[in-house]
Structure 1
Amino acid sequence: MRAAVYYGNKKLEIEDVPEPTPGDGQVKVRVSRNGICGTDLHEYYDGPIFIPPSDPHPLTGKAMPLVIGHEFSGVVTDVGRGVTDVHEGDHVAIEPVYRCGECRPCKSGRYNLCTSVGFHGLMADGGMAEYTVVPRNQVHALPESIPLEMGALVEPMAVAYHAAVLGEVGDQSSALIYGAGPIGIGLWFALRGMGLTEIDVVEPSPTRRASIEALGARTLDPTSQDVSALIADRTNGDGVDAAFDAAGVAPAVTSALECVGERRPLISVAIYDKPLPTPLINLVLRERRIQGTICYTSDDYRAVIDLMARGHYDTTGWVDTVPLSGVIEQGFEALRAGQKMKLLVDPTL
């Protein structure tokens, strides 16, 4: 079968590899689509970062080279011994988290914080291939109402949903989202799914503003508008109930901490390329806080799948498909140049 195999910095080869066979407790999936994540871009251009270069990961036993890809959906083609509740032909989305089950976070249900956490496609052969094999606990059934291709978006939308939950907001709350890339869009959908109507998306790029506006979002342009002054005026100085940074740049963090209300959070969903100066005075004087977030749990997957089944997510204008054969030129390079928003890889092409 064909697969995208990662050999190190700017070394990704499309090549034939052996088709995997499921072992005990495993499920084999014919991949329909695999999304290109920002993490994949970091690994390709700047890595290896999370992919183990030589020492095998403790939970998977894998190191570089390996097949990348952790955002994917597909059809079950085979199951290993002991798997009785997943069947050939099932449409599924994969939650690519490996967890030890023994550390304190795992025992408390927060296995996304496992002290040995690993990810399919980063610490094990992943989904940017025609077939892949995953543990049973990574498999989520997709209802018939969800197109199989959309199932590949469950993973990034679950990242956003998990962050939205940490914002501790309700249907009467107000929120600010910084960044209108895929995670920013996912945050907007998640917050809307929680009943929020007072949401502004702060985005300097006209192209990205237009994309999320077409979905129905309200935007602010920080290059021409004083966001903190506008929010202060709109809220009578109280600030918003939660802010979310999906931009990953210092001006977004500074602005967010000026706009969020007292004792309310800034949820950091971004990966920061450089250390950021933290304006502690904005935290101390108003008892604001910065809350980190990492990936998701099965609760977030179930919530996103439920919203998708009800037609909540719209991919118009921001999701495109590229062939596996063109994953570097049409995929990584196009995303890095800002020419595309979200790309799904079709491993059959």
Structure 2
Amino acid sequence: MRAVVYSGPKQVAITDVAERPVGPGQVRLKVAFNGICGTDLHEYYAGPIFVPTEPHPLTGEALPVVLGHEFSGTVTEVGSEVTSLVVGDRVTVLPVYSCGECLACQGGRPNVCAKVGFHGLSTDGGMAETTVVDEGMAFKLPDSVSLELGALTEPMAVAYHAVKLGDPDPSGTALVFGAGPIGIGLWFALKGQGIDDVFVVEPSPVRRESIERLGAKTIDPTSVDIPAFIAEHTGGNGVTAAYDAAGVTASVQTALACLGAARTMVSVAIYEKPLETPLIQLVLREARIQGTLCYTADDYRAVIELMAAGHYDTTGWLETIAMDDLVTEGFEALHAGQKMKVLVDPSR
């Protein structure tokens, strides 16, 4: 089968690889769509970061790997011990591997397992014609949710989980930095969790216009003093939660300057460079910086339920490409800010 194989910085090849056998508790999927994640871009331009160079403790695998952890597909084969899925089921996949034994796993946080791994990073993933996953990783999609939308479950669950960690007040104001796919997901998640007063900070006119078409209120940081604006808008109380999906020093510093007392800035981005953090802002307001990593099964179920209810709108920010166009129309275009979100269709 054809697959996207990653070997190191700017080293990807679309080549034929052998299909993996299906174990007793596994299913084979014909991949419908696989999203290009910001993590994939970080791996391509600055990696390996999450892709192991030595055998991973859970998967036993290392470079090279087939990329792809945001995907949906149709079950084409089931293992002998599989009971919840049948051939023909349409699914999305929660791509996390956890040990089940460490304190995090025992505490219900397998997403921060001491040995956490990811399908498409720690082992061969979904940027291929088919892939094999454990039964428990596959979540059935309702009939009303398309496979295209189903492929967005993973990034939307990232955002949904982050919003919960920020604990925003439904009667207050929330602030999102960055209007890329995760920023859009944060806006959808905030609205889905009952937060109505949300502002999205984005310097790119193209991205501002895209999220404005969905109904979002935006701020251009190149022309607005954001802390002053937020102070006036909230009567000096500040925002009840802020989310950084931009991953740059300016967004973090501005977010902290906008936080209300004892409130949280959630860091959703991957930072390639060290940041200067003004800790005095945290001290004076007893504010917090909260990290977040992926999601839980409950987040997946919540996002799928919102999708089934028609909550997510992909108009104007989603594009599908062929696997052969991955580098030019995918990685390079996204890295240059020319596109918002790109799905790879392995059948094209």
TM-score range, shorter chain: over 0.9
SS at match of 1:261: strand
Residue 59 of structure 1 corresponds to 58
Q: Does 1:238 align with 2:231?
A: no
Q: Is the 8 A contact 2:173 2:234 kept in 1?
A: no
- 1:19 — aligned with what? 19
Matched, 1:81 2:80: yes
Aligned 1:312-327 pairs, distance under 5 A: 312-327=311-326
| Equivalence for 1:195 | 194
Provide the C-alpha distance between the structure 2 equivalents of 1:9 and 1:269, rounded to a whole number of angstroms: 23
Q: Report sequence identity in percent.
A: 63
- Provide the rounded CA distance (Å) in 2 between the counterparts of 1:183 and 1:128: 20
Contact preservation (8 Å) 2:169, 2:240: no
Equivalent position SS for 1:223: coil
- Structure 2 portions without partners, runs of 5+: none
8 A contact 2:165–2:266 mirrored in 1: yes
Distance in structure 2 (CA, Å) of the matches to 1:201 and 1:158 = 19
Deviations, residues 158-207 of structure 1 (Å, cap 9, x unaligned): 00000000111243231000000000000000000011110000111111
Partner of 2:279: 280
In the alignment, which residue of structure 1 is the partner of 2:41? 41
Query: What amino acid maps onto 2:346 in structure 1?
Result: P
Retained in 1: the 8 A contact 2:27–2:133?
Answer: yes
Task: String of CA shifts for 1:314-340, please: whole Å, max 9, x gaps.
Answer: 000000001001111111111111110
Structure 2 CA distance, aligned partners of 1:63 and 1:131?
20
Residue 20 (structure 1) shift? 2.3
Deviations 1:108-167 (A, max 9, x none): 110001000000000110000000001112111100000111100000000000000011
Segments of 5+ residues of structure 1 without an aligned counterpart are none
Amino acid at match of 2:28: K
CA contact (8 A) 1:170 1:195 kept: no
Distance 1:171 1:41 in 2: 34
Aligned residue in 2 for 1:123: 122
The TM-score normalised by the length of structure 1 is 0.98
Per the normalisation by structure 2, the TM-score is 0.99
Q: 1 CA distance for matches of 2:172 and 2:31? A: 39
Matched, 1:72 2:76: no
Map 1:218-297 to 2 at 5 A. Answer: 218-297=217-296
Displacement of 1:99 in angstroms is 0.3
277-286 or 125-134: which moved more?
Answer: 277-286
1:76-115 to 2 correspondence within 5 Å? 76-115=75-114
Structure 1 stretch 43-52 or stretch 257-266: which is displaced more?
Answer: 43-52
**Residues in 2 aligned to 1:345 and 1:34: alpha-carbon distance in whole angstroms:** 5
* Residue 152, structure 1, aligned to residue 118, structure 2: no
Distance 2:169 2:152 in 1: 24
Say if 2:84 and 2:135, in contact at 8 Å, map to a contact too. no
Structure-2 residue corresponding to 1:4 = 4
Deviation >4 Å, runs of 4+ = none
CA distance in 1, matches of 2:8, 2:158: 26
Whole-angstrom CA distance in 2 between matches of 1:212 and 1:330:
21
What is the CA-CA distance between 1:272 and the residue it aligns to? Answer: 1.1
Provide the C-alpha distance between the structure 1 equivalents of 2:63 and 2:252, rounded to a whole number of angstroms: 35
* Aligned twin of 1:299: 298
User: What is the CA–CA distance in structure 1 between the aligned matches of 2:41 and 2:250, rounded to whole Å?
Assistant: 23
Distance across 2 between alignment mates of 1:265 and 1:168: 8
Paired amino acid for 2:230: I
Matched position secondary structure for 2:321: strand
- For residue 50 of structure 2, what is the aligned residue in structure 1? 50
- Alpha-carbon separation, structure 2, partners of 1:29 and 1:157: 21
Partner SS state of residue 93, structure 1: strand
2:187 is aligned with what amino acid?
W
The answer (yes or no) to whether the contact 1:121–1:127 under 8 Å persists in 2 is: yes
* Rounded Cα–Cα distance in structure 2 between residues aligned with 1:90 and 1:167: 35
Mapped partners of 1:229, 1:158: distance in 2: 32
Match of 1:331 in 2: 330
| AA partner of residue 148 (structure 1) | L
The equivalent of 1:143 in structure 2 is: 142
Matched to 1:306, the amino acid is E
Q: Residue 285 of structure 1 aligns to a residue in which SS?
A: helix
The answer as to whether partners of 2:261 and 2:285 remain within 8 angstroms in 1 is yes
Q: Distance in 2 between matches of 1:5 and 1:335?
A: 19
Counterpart CA distance in 2 for 1:253 and 1:109 is 29
